[in-house]
Amino acid sequence: MDYRRLGRTDIKVSSQCLGTMTWGEQNSEAEGHAQMDFAIDKGINFFDTAELYAIPPKRETQGRTERIIGSWFKARGNRDKVVLATKVVGRTEMDWFRKDGSHPKLDARNIEEAVEQSLKNLQTDYIDLYQIHWPDRNTPGFGSNPTRWKDVEPAADEVSIGETLDVMDRLVKSGKVRHIGLSNESAWGTMTFVKEAEMRGVPRVVSIQNAYSLVNRTFEVNLAEVALREDVGLLAYSALAQGYLTGKYRNGALPAGARKTLFDRLQRYEVPGADAAFEAYFKLAEDAGLDPAQMALAFAESRSFMTSVIIGATKIEQLETDIAASELKLSDDVLARIDEIHQLTGNPCP
C-alpha cells in the first residue's frame, strides 16, 4: 500500500480509502466492523463517511453509517490508527438532517449542528477531514463538473463561500476538525475556496472528493491542474462506476444483493454510449489478462493528481479484490490503450 500526503498537511493517507456508505443498509453493523478490521490489516488507514449515509438517503437510515464506525472505535479502541473523513450535506430539500426539520444549507447554524451530531455518532472528539458534500450554490447537476452546461438560477439566500469558510475556521480552531475538504465541486468553486481562504487567513481545503473513473475522466479537464498546483488532491469516488466496471451488470445481469438490483438508482451509468465504453474496457482487460475491476482501480490510483481512491464493497471477497489492485502497476501499453478507448468513447458517465 502506498501512502500519500493529504494536501499540505503532515498527514499521510493510504492510496486507497475505505468507503462506508453501504453500512446500515446493504451491510449490517457486524459486516461493517469486519470490513474495517480487514482494511486496517491490509494497510488502509483512511476511512470516508458522511452524515448522509447510509445510501440511498432515507430518514430511517441517516447517520447509521457513522454510528457503525463509532461503535467500532469504541469496541477496538483504535481511533488513533484511522484518518477519519466525514461530510456535511450541502443545500438540500431533504428535511431530516436538522432537529427542527429545516432544509440544510452551509451556514453556521447548520454546520455546527452537523459536526456535533457527527462527533456523537462517531464516538470521537475530532474529525481529521471535514468535507462539504456538495455546494450550497445551485449548480448544473450533481457533481458540479458537467460536460454540457445548463443555466441555473442562484438561490435567493445563497450562503457565500467566505461565510462557510469562516465557520470551518472556528471548527478547526476549536479542535473538533483538523482539516477541511470539498466534494462534488467545480474548478471555479475549488479555486474560490482556495483564494478566499488565503485572503481571510483561514484554513485551505486539502482535498476534493469527486467522481472519477474510466468512463468519467472529466476531472482532468480543469480540476487536475488545480489539484496539482494548489495541493488539493483528488479523493476519487465511483472509480468502478458503481459496479459497472466490474462486469457484474454485463448483458443486463442483476446479481442478488447488488445496488442496482435493490435500488435501481444507477442511471448515471445507463446513458447512451456507456455500454460501448464498458465493453471496450472489458475487452482490454481480457486481452491484458487483468481483472477489469483491478484494472479500473489501478488506473485511477496511478494518476498524478490522485491522493486516494475510495473503494466500497458489500462483501469481504470484493474488498479483497479491490485492495489487491493497489499492488498492480499497469503497463505503458495498457495505459496507451486506455487513452485510445477514451479518445473514441469520451466521458459517457459524468
Residues with a known catalytic role: 53
Q: In degrees to the nearest 10, what's the CA dihedral of 41, 38, 87, 260?
A: 150
Q: In degrees to the nearest 10, what's the CA dihedral of 181, 178, 63, 301?
A: 50
Report yes or no: 17 and 310 within 8 Å, Cβ to Cβ: yes
Instruction: Give backbone dihedrals phi and psi of 75, rounded to 5 degrees, phi first.
Output: -70, -35
Query: ∠158-161-165 over CA atoms, to 5°?
Result: 130
- Beta bridge pairs of residue 48: 19, 85
Report yes or no: 323 and 311 within 8 Å, Cβ to Cβ: yes
Measured between alpha carbons, how far is 23 from 19 in angstroms, rounded to an integer? 9
Contacts of 276 (CB under 8 A, 6+ apart): 345, 348
State the CB neighbour count (10 A cutoff) for residue 283: 13
- Amino acid identity, residue 54? A
Q: Taking the CA atoms of the chain, what radius of gyration do you get in angstroms?
A: 19
Report yes or no: 223 and 205 within 8 Å, Cβ to Cβ: no
Report yes or no: 65 and 85 within 8 Å, Cβ to Cβ: no
Give the three cell numbers for residue 165.
Answer: 469558510
Quickly list H helices, the chain.
29-41, 64-76, 108-122, 161-174, 187-200, 223-230, 259-263, 274-288, 292-301, 316-324, 332-345
**Longest pairwise C-alpha distance within the chain:** 57
